[in-house]
């Protein structure tokens, strides 16, 4: 939604993963789908800003994704877990980051969403729920700029948009890129 409302201001960072592509996902749009060997080679070559093993799959954000946003004079949007946030804050590659933690209204609702999606088996869902609970506990120990509860998408988006418009004045003025 941010990309539609502010197309000249934001660029979404596409993450890499070793997990299997789901139906309707597109390589290079939703994720860069890599095999484990390619992922580990990029890791060894120091291509990642951050990386993690989540639910037995590797995930990571390439430095080149941030570099593209910088070259376009856009704000780079990252989607990552708690470990990724900690690594990103420590790496000093990204300056002036704003860190926002989005959490579900409660874990039962998220569990229901995961089951309805029908893309993971019960063991995978249990691992994801375990990771979620760990992240919810750990989030309180990280210096996030904002916490959002995703109970109503429209309301949550409006809260996010207002916060970003206060943080980045050019969004309020409609001037486009930073």
Q: Delimit the domains of the chain by residue range.
A: 2-173
Set 22, 134, 172, 178: catalytic member: 22
* pLDDT the model gives residue 113: 84
In angstroms, the Cα distances linking 76 to 72, 135, 137, 140 are 10, 23, 26, 24
Active site residue 128: yes
Set 26, 117, 134, 178: catalytic member: 117
Provide DSSP, 109-148. Answer: HHHHHHHHHT-S-HHHHHHHHHHHHHHHHHHTTS--SEEE
Q: If we measure between CA atoms, which residue out of 51, 47, 18 comes closest to residue 35?
A: 18
CATH architecture classification, 2-173: 3-Layer(aba) Sandwich (3.40)
pLDDT band at 42 (very low <50, low <70, confident <90, very high): very high
Q: What is the mean pLDDT of residues 147-165?
A: 95
Question: Is pLDDT at 124 greater than 90 in this prediction?
Answer: no
Place of tokens 């860069």: 32
Set 19, 26, 113, 128: catalytic member: 128
Q: What is the mean pLDDT of residues 3-21?
A: 96
* pLDDT the model gives residue 174: 60
Active site residue 11: no
Number of C-beta neighbours around residue 92 at 10 A:
7
By the 8 A CB rule, do 139 and 86 touch?
Answer: no
- Sign of torsion, CA 129 135 140 141? positive
Q: What share of the chain is helix, strand, coil (3-state, %, to 5)?
A: 45, 20, 35
pLDDT in tens, 58-74: 999 999 999 999 999 99
Active site residue 178: no
């Amino acid at each position: 939604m941010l990309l539609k409302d502010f197309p000249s201001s934001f660029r979404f960072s596409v993450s890499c993963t070793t997990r299997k592509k789901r139906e309707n996902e597109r390589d290079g749009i939703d994720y860069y789908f890599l095999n484990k060997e390619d992922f580990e080679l990029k890791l060894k070559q120091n291509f990642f800003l951050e990386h993690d093993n989540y639910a037995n799959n590797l995930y990571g954000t390439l430095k080149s994704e941030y570099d593209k946003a910088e070259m376009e004079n856009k704000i780079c949007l990252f989607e990552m877990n708690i470990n990724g946030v900690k690594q990103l804050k420590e790496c000093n590659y990204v300056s002036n980051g704003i860190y926002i933690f989005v959490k579900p209204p409660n874990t039962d609702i998220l569990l229901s969403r995961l089951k309805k999606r029908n893309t993971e088996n019960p063991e995978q869902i249990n691992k994801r729920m375990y990771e979620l609970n760990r992240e919810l506990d750990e989030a309180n120990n990280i210096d996030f700029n904002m916490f959002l509860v995703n109970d109503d998408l429209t309301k949550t988006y409006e809260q996010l948009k207002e916060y970003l418009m206060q943080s980045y004045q050019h969004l309020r003025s409609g001037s486009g890129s930073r």
